[in-house]
Amino acid sequence: MAGLDELKRGATVKGILPDGFITVVDVSWIGSVAIELTYKDSKGKPANELIYRDRESDLEIVESGKPWSFDGDSDLFRLVSEAHRIRLAYLFDPLLAVHTSLVDPLPPIVIGGALIVPAGLLMRLNGGQTATLQAKETKRVEMVAMRAAVAAEQKLDNAFPGKLSAGA
């Protein structure tokens, strides 16, 4: 609680405006029961208001400081900055979904009695795996399977309409 006589030029006061602080520009006394207060709101817009002693209980002089400080919650800052980093990561890493997904490499496939083990699975079992190699291996397995299917169909004298290719 602040009295009307405590309002001086440059003071920051809470309670004049319902949504924020004001900075006192000038105070003119009108008798002993009221003042004419000239102030600027938080956006810098000047205003003028008559304040009576019955509003003293609403007024509070606040300590004005810098508009920024370093005394915030560091854990919350770290969490928010990591969220922003993840939100913007796709701009710098076009394979972000592949790097962060939990997709396993293809399992071994039996084609025409032969066991085809994808190179990506072998590399993963041996301790190394990259998303690029996994994508290349998926394409290779699709091509091997397609060639085997085409060869089997040709043995049966089935005709194929045009050229075939694996994936897009």
Does the structure show a pLDDT above 70 at 13?
yes
Cα end-to-end span (Å), the chain: 73
pLDDT reported for residue 108: 64
Q: Would you state the structure tokens that stand for residue 44, as one six-digit string?
A: 């810098």
Does the structure show a pLDDT above 90 at 150?
no
- Mean pLDDT for 58-79 is 85
Does the structure show a pLDDT above 60 at 53?
yes
Residues 32-55: b if buried by 16+ CB within 10 A, e if exposed: eebbebbbeeeeeeeeeeebeeee
Band (pLDDT 50/70/90 cuts) for residue 106 is: low
pTM attached to this predicted model: 0.40
Band (pLDDT 50/70/90 cuts) for residue 95 is: confident
pLDDT, tens only, 22-36 = 999 999 999 989 999
Nearest-angstrom CA–CA distance, 168 and 166: 7
- Neighbour count for residue 162 (Cβ, 10 Å): 4
Nearest-angstrom CA–CA distance, 118 and 143: 12
pLDDT reported for residue 143: 81
pLDDT reported for residue 168: 44
Give the domain 4-62 fold: SH3 type barrels. (2.30.30)
Q: Which amino acid is at 38?
A: T
By the 8 A CB rule, do 61 and 75 touch? no
Does the structure show a pLDDT above 80 at 124?
no
Does the structure show a pLDDT above 90 at 74?
yes
Does the structure show a pLDDT above 70 at 163?
no
- Would the CA dihedral through 144, 146, 149, 152 be positive or negative? negative
